[in-house]
Structure 1
Amino acid sequence: MEAVREVEETLSELRQTFKDGRTRSIAWRKKQLSSLLELVNDNEENIFRALDQDLGKHPVESYRDEIGAVKKSINHTLSNLEKWVAPKKVGLPLPMFPTSGWLLPEPLGVVLVFASWNFPISLALDPMIGAIAAGNAVVLKPSEQAPASSSFLANTIPQYMDSKAVKIVEGGAEISELLLQQKWDKIFFTGSQQVGRIIMSAAAKNLTPVALELGGKCPIILDSISSPSDLKVAIQRIVGGKWGPCNGQACIGVDYMLVEEKFAPTVIESLKKTIKRFYSESPKDSKCLARVVNKRHFERLRNLFKDPPVAASIVHGGSLDEENLFIEPTILLDPPLNAAIMTEEIFGPLLPIITVNKIEESIEFINSRPKPLAIYAFTKDANFRRRVLSETSSGTVVFNDILIQFVCEALPFGGVGQSGFGRYHGKYSFDTFSHERAVVQANFFIEFGSRYPPWNDFKNNIIRSAYNLDYLNLVLLLLGLKR
């Protein structure tokens, strides 16, 4: 009962703050964003420490994927906020002259942001940046599976930001359930499809709009590359994209790879050499690989590749250290397609390679499965690129690289189908947490009687001309030059 009371009081205070209008001020929004930037700048070492405790992330990885990403997002938002907030004039059809119209972005109200554990700082703060920029009051629910990061956010954010408009609520599933029982003006969730369904079901009871940033089995299509230098670059990017961000625990990370059968031995050898170069002969001792987040996920991953038919497909790696929650970068060649490793999102350091006779068959393979969050295709064939774009569907397509879409504010980030819906980053975050209100302003000095009954043929002709965009005929009718 105490938790219920606290949640209700928190929401009540936020609603009053929003009602008072303080969050609508552009000055207030800029102040909060600047304070958040100050928070990140002041606490780099504390963030590094929290991410190391939660996931074993190296400081370089933590800066690249979390601190740097947040700083970049805040600076971009501060630089563009006044332009985003400004009303936008729209052209109205000639028959409405001299009426004017414009679009006015307005905040939604009080929004709820659920953060994910794999990037517990950036996936908490980046959506919040958009919510504050749009003028909302915010509740942030960090992931309990990253307790050090959750504690850092809960203890630090109130020191820098308006505590009557920005609240941090910590806790596990019970607290999340309590939050979902409340009425929100929007819910933003980053996480699994399973929990996404729970979020959407709860939101439906209050007709609350949701943005779901979910995962999916993101494939790589690796076309045959004849140039050794190009292949080296491609493999480096694949290894960095698969094991670099949180050791495979990333929603846009690589889930499996499609290659032509004749090309597979070359690819596997190149992968092995690059893994060794990046993470040494003993990856377990490398400081550049994050660990599995907890024992439950460790056990889940072990079950994915320890079944005998799947284990038989391992061509590299496969060792485990349960005490330290470490799984070696592991490559599997043609595991059974009906095995869990090929039907569930892996979210870990396991890379299945699926062979096809011709690389064009990869399109059919991808289309036989739910729409992914991202497709990564390495190819120099312009015709094949066109086919990938025209014959597949995904949240994003990236040619000849991995993950770079995530750090580009000019592009929307989001899924399609089971990989989620809604989008954010940059202006798209602002739009996600805004309602673009249509405003029309008429005047009193021109009045067209043809709008009103009693009806006759003359009024019928005027209305038909207006709707058919026959403006010359309309003008002639109004001037009395045509009946």
Structure 2
Amino acid sequence: METSSEFPVPGTQQVPSRATGNAPEEDDGGDGKGSMDGDGMGGNPYAGLVALLRAAWLSGKTRPMEYRVAQLEALGRFLEDKKQEILEATALDVGKPPFEAQLAEILLCKNELHAALNNLSQWMKDEPVERNLATHLDSAFIRKEPYGVVLIMGPWCCPVSLLLGPLIGAIAAGNCAVLKPSEMTKNVEKLMVEALPGYLDTDCFAVVTAGPQETTRLLENKFDYIFFTGSPPMGRAVMAAAAQHLTPVTLELGGKNPCYVSEPCDVRSVARRVAWGRFFNAGQTCVAPDYVLCSLELQEKLLPALREAITEFYGSDPRGSPDLGRIVDQKEFQRIRMLLRSGRVAIGGQAEEEERYIAPTVLADVLPSDPIMQEEIFGPILPIVVVASMEEAIEFINKRPRPLAVYAFCSDCKVVAQVLERTSSGGFCGNDTLTHMTLSSLPFGGIGCSGLGKYHGKFTFDTFSHQRGCLHRSMGLEALNALRYPPYSQQKLGFLTATFEIKRKGTCTLL
């Protein structure tokens, strides 16, 4: 999803810079079996905080629906009360325009929040399941239980919504949570640490700050679930740390999202939709179209249409536009500027280091071997790779790691359907970009290198809920149970088979 400072492997020690709440310094690692520190001697700086949250969870405090609703409503008040501070913090950190911040940071969060509040009572209900003849008089159901103490690690690209969105599901599911905002967005991090605890129950929810070294120490603690959004290399490190405790994880990563464009199509509409998706948040979104695949003829039609769209969106000098963000830091700026050497700069290409400004840029005639095709761009650059046909485009996509999203544009719905049918990705959007992730009714997440697990709406609630299979039998009718007890006989086996067996329903085969 995004690049950042990678934290080292577990074992390196560093004290945390800041954490909410007053936690004792000594603890057994949160699982009652002794510390799992890298040095094996205890003293993990986050262990006391995790222990406090675990004690609150074990008390049952977070389980009643009334408590969950109260905490969700408090989070809603935070979004409302701190709206201006959120806009200012995201503007300072990444130059995010207020329009984009309200849409991607606040509105998406509120939608998730309201979906949870509107449906929580239904989501929490036990789910009855089918029973066989042997259990026909019993109660069989799925109980949705909280995991316990969860860790949510947010990214810098959408530092509010991609931190609080998972939190909404964690609260709705009845968990306690530790939140770690990205250290790269200092102003949002500060806002979360200083303001959020004033709204949530600090016995059950905490915000910590952690750089690469501190994150290693944080991950040494036993959590019951870890939700991470960030880059694939860091996702691997999180998964490795989670494996030490056999902790389940959701990894929201990213990748190079292909965008296939085919005739017939409305070239101007395609250009506007692709440009918006690529340059939103200065290209720093995990679902941005990473590159375009099209024919040489269509490339020549797209280039003037893209130039027109960029001018329409940002004016003749995008540097002066209030609607174009900036690159998050100097390291990212230098990395992205190096990628401008790929292919041919057809539109844009200007860069200004002091402002961390890179113009909306389109690169034509890009080769698969060019540097820009070797990594996720995560910046305002759109490369175009020429392919001869849809077959070649699909082959190109399928030879590479499965992306977070695949986009396909064509007025012929059969072409779009073919791309959907013959490729694999976390999500898919036909004839548009980004908008599929705005639906809380759709699962959002990656596959393979682009991620593990899914969320949004009820899917977030399910992610943070353990699906506990339950059977409640009567103490009566013991004579029926005698069929399963020794001494065994063929007659008993026959009776048991008749009551437990699932038979295949009749099928009709057409020859």
Other-structure match for 2:273 = 237
Other-structure match for 2:334 = 299
Other-structure match for 2:369 = 338
Other-structure match for 2:421 = 390
Q: Is the 8 A contact 1:113 1:140 kept in 2?
A: yes
Shift of 1:358: 1.4
User: 1 or 2, which has the higher helix percentage?
Assistant: 1
Q: Percent identity?
A: 38
Shift of 1:469: 4.0
Other-structure match for 1:462 = 495
Query: Which of 404, 429, 451 in structure 2 is aligned with 1:420?
Result: 451
Q: Give the AA of the match of 2:492.
A: K
1:199 equivalenced with 2:238 (yes/no)? yes
CA shift digits 1:213-241 (9 cap, x unpaired): 00100011111135xxx332222111111
CA shift digits 1:224-271 (9 cap, x unpaired): 135xxx332222111111102x11111111100011122110011100
TM-score, length of structure 2 as denominator length: 0.88
Alignment of 1:9-408 (within 5 A): 9-226=48-265, 230-244=266-280, 246-306=281-341, 310=342, 312-408=343-439
Q: Secondary structure at the match of 1:296?
A: helix
Query: Which of 485, 496, 500 in structure 2 is aligned with 1:452?
Result: 485
What residue ranges of structure 1 are gaps of 5+ in the alignment?
472-483
Q: Secondary structure at the match of 1:360?
A: helix
Q: Is the 8 A contact 2:15 2:214 kept in 1?
A: no
Q: Secondary structure at the match of 1:369?
A: coil
Change (3 A) 1:28 1:470: closer
CA shift digits 1:259-308 (9 cap, x unpaired): 112211001110011101101000111111110000000011112223xx
Q: Distance in 2 between matches of 1:389 and 1:316?
A: 30
Q: Is the 8 A contact 2:44 2:217 kept in 1?
A: no
Shift of 1:340: 2.2
Change (3 A) 1:89 1:63: same
Q: Distance in 1 between matches of 2:72 and 2:187?
A: 23
CA shift digits 1:435-457 (9 cap, x unpaired): 01111011132232321232333
Q: Is the 8 A contact 2:263 2:411 kept in 1?
A: no
Q: Distance in 2 between matches of 1:279 and 1:359?
A: 32
Q: Give the AA of the match of 1:342.
A: M
Shift of 1:93: 1.3
Shift of 1:6: 4.2
CA shift digits 1:326-355 (9 cap, x unpaired): 001111112231222101111111111011
Q: Distance in 1 between matches of 2:489 and 2:503?
A: 19
Q: Secondary structure at the match of 2:470?
A: strand
Q: Is the 8 A contact 2:256 2:289 kept in 1?
A: yes
Shift of 1:171: 2.5
Change (3 A) 1:352 1:106: same
Q: Distance in 2 between matches of 1:372 and 1:469?
A: 39
Q: Is the 8 A contact 1:260 1:359 kept in 2?
A: no
Q: Is the 8 A contact 1:373 1:395 kept in 2?
A: yes
Q: Give the AA of the match of 1:305.
A: L
Q: Distance in 1 between matches of 2:15 and 2:388?
A: 62
Change (3 A) 1:470 1:387: closer
Shift of 1:74: 0.8
Q: Distance in 1 between matches of 2:76 and 2:254?
A: 28
Q: Secondary structure at the match of 1:221?
A: strand
Q: Give the AA of the match of 1:188.
A: F
Q: Give the AA of the match of 1:148.
A: N
CA shift digits 1:154-209 (9 cap, x unpaired): 11111111011110001211221111111100110000001101101111111111
Give the stretch that moved more between structures: 3-12 or 428-437: 3-12
Change (3 A) 1:2 1:256: closer
Q: Is the 8 A contact 2:264 2:412 kept in 1?
A: no
Q: Distance in 2 between matches of 1:206 and 1:394?
A: 29
Q: Distance in 1 between matches of 2:187 and 2:179?
A: 15
Q: Is the 8 A contact 1:218 1:372 kept in 2?
A: yes
Change (3 A) 1:351 1:207: same
Shift of 1:55: 0.6
What residue ranges of structure 2 are gaps of 5+ in the alignment?
1-13, 17-42, 505-511
Q: Distance in 2 between matches of 1:429 and 1:40?
A: 19
Other-structure match for 1:476 = none
Q: Secondary structure at the match of 1:23?
A: coil
Q: Give the AA of the match of 1:327.
A: I
Q: Distance in 2 between matches of 1:85 and 1:450?
A: 37
CA shift digits 1:387-409 (9 cap, x unpaired): 22222110011111111121111
Q: Distance in 1 between matches of 2:390 and 2:462?
A: 38
Q: Is the 8 A contact 1:360 1:384 kept in 2?
A: no
Q: Distance in 2 between matches of 1:113 and 1:151?
A: 17
Q: Is the 8 A contact 1:142 1:169 kept in 2?
A: yes
Q: Distance in 2 between matches of 1:127 and 1:233?
A: 33
Q: Distance in 1 between matches of 2:420 and 2:133?
A: 38
Shift of 1:361: 1.7
Q: Distance in 2 between matches of 1:33 and 1:175?
A: 29
The two structures, once aligned, show a CA RMSD in angstroms of 1.5
Q: Give the AA of the match of 2:483.
A: S
Q: Distance in 2 between matches of 1:321 and 1:466?
A: 75
Q: Secondary structure at the match of 2:286?
A: coil
Q: Secondary structure at the match of 2:488?
A: coil
Give the stretch that moved more between structures: 451-460 or 30-39: 451-460
- Equivalent residue pairs, number: 463
Q: Give the AA of the match of 2:312.
A: R
